[in-house]
Amino acid sequence: MKKLVVIGTLLGVLALSVGMWAKTTAAAAAGEEKGEVVELTGILVKVSAVGTTTTGWELHFPNPVNIDGKSLSAVELDGDPHKFQKLENLRIGVKGIVLHPSADRTVIKVQKLKENA
């Protein structure tokens, strides 16, 4: 009888853990695919900030751009840092998904990247 209680408890904990893992994974995947796809052009700049989260790369626009109702002069880029290093301080074109990791941050998850002439 004691063995059945232990096995039942272990199975319950296992089922709960798998359910929580599946919910977290599905939520993360859905959040990444939800954003609007945009194409932008600007200057790729390496940035650093103390005491805050950043991807380390921003796309600076010559004129403010309206993204999700916000007028922005720059957005963070999330992508391959090796490709970004090769194009640092150059005018580039980017296609990607708009993400909002927090209320005050707008990040573009880069799908395509090209240097503009």
pTM over 0.85: no
pLDDT of residue 24: 46
pLDDT of residue 86: 94
Each domain of the chain, given as residue ranges in start order, spans 1-34, 36-115
Distance from C-alpha of 33 to C-alpha of 25, rounded to nearest angstrom: 13
pLDDT of residue 8 exceeding 70: no
The number of residues making up the chain comes to 117
Domain 36-115 has CATH 2.40.50.140: yes
Distance from C-alpha of 24 to C-alpha of 17, rounded to nearest angstrom: 11
Distance from C-alpha of 18 to C-alpha of 47, rounded to nearest angstrom: 39
pLDDT of residue 29 exceeding 60: no
pLDDT of residue 50 exceeding 90: no
105: tokens are: 């941050």
Which tens digits make up the pLDDT trace of 88-101?
Answer: 999 999 999 999 99
Measured in degrees and rounded to the nearest 5, phi and psi for residue 8 equal -60, -40
Distance from C-alpha of 23 to C-alpha of 33, rounded to nearest angstrom: 16
